[in-house]
Amino acid sequence: MMTMSSMEQIDIAAAVARALAEDIGSGDVTARLVDASKTARARLITREDAVLCGRPWFDAVFAAIDPAVCIEWQAGEGDRVSPDQVLCHIEGPARALLTGERSAMNFLQTLSATATVTRRFADAVAHTECRIVDTRKTLPGLRLAQKYAVRCGGGANHRIGLYDGILIKENHIAAAGGIQAAIRAARALRAGVPLMTEAETLDEARLALAEDVDLLLIDDFSLEQIREAVALTRAHRAAGGRSVVEYSGGASLSTIVPIAECGVDRISVGSITKHVSAVDLSMRVID
C-alpha cells in the first residue's frame, strides 16, 4: 500500500461522506427491492489496461454503508492491471453492495485514471533524472486524493495549495514591480514555506537564481532556452546555491521526452489531474 499522510487519511472519510450524501440522500429506494436479509457476492474487473489506485476510498465507502461487507483484493495499490483482470471480490449484505457500488467505483475509476496517465508520463522520462510533478489543476474536492494518485503512478507532488508554498507568477511580478522585488517581498514574509518563482525569460531566470529561490519554474521556454536555463541552474548549484529547475507549459506525451532530456529536474503536468478519463471498471453480482 502506498504511504498516505494523516491529512490524506482524514480526507478519505470526509470525501466518502460527501459522496454518499449526494448519492443516497434520504435512502436507496431501489435497493429496497432486495430482501434485507439477503447476502451476495460480487467481483470487480477492469476492462482496460490501467494502474490501480483508490482502494482506501473504495473500502471506506462500503465500510460506511455496512461494516459487514468483506472485500478481498486481488491487485495491489499502484499495480498495473489488464483487461478482464479481477481486481477484488466483495461479499456481504446485498443491499449494501448495490448501494455502495457507484460511489465506490467513482473513486476507484477516477483515481486509477490519474495514476494511469501519470505512469505514462513517468515511464516516458524514466531514462532521465527528471521527475513528473502535479499542479493545483485538480478536481474540486479531490485534490488530496488526486495527489495521492499521482504518487501511485510514479509522480511527485507540488505544493498542495496556496498555504504550503509561495509561487510567484507573472501577475505577482507585475504587481510587485519586478521579479526581484517580488522575491524579496516574499522573503520578508518569513512564511517558512518553499519559495518558488516563475520566469518567462532567461533574464528573469538569472534574477531568480541570484536570489537563490528554492524552485525556478521556467514557463514555455524553447528547447534551446531550457538547456541554457539548466546550465545556469547547475552553475548556480555548483557555486553553493540550492535552486532546482522545473519546466511548466503544457507538456504532453509527444513533447515531454526532449524537454526532460534537456536536463530539467522536474516537469509539472496539469493534464494528469485535470484531463482525466475514467478507467472502465465493471462490478457484477455473481450470486
Residues annotated as catalytic are: 102, 137, 169, 198, 219
Instruction: Give kind and range of the element (H or E) at residue 182.
Output: helix 179-189
Give the separation between CA 43 and CA 64, rounded to whole angstroms.
19
Distances (CA, A) of 13 to 4, 17, 18, 138: 13, 6, 9, 19
Q: How far is CA 177 from CA 25, 186, 201, 207, in A?
A: 52, 13, 16, 13
> Partners of 42 in the beta sheet?
90, 285
Burial label, 286 (beta-carbon count in 10 A; 0-12, 13-18, 19+): exposed
Pairing relation of β-strands 131-133 and 266-268? parallel
Contacts of 215 (CB under 8 A, 6+ apart): 194, 195, 196, 197, 243, 244, 245, 246
Residues 194 and 243: beta-carbon distance below 8 Å: no
Q: Record the cell numbers describing residue 46, joined without a space.
A: 477492469
For residues 51 and 115, is the Cβ–Cβ distance under 8 A?
yes
The three three-digit cell numbers of residue 62, written as one number: 462500503
Strand partners, 43: 89, 284
For 191, which DSSP code? -
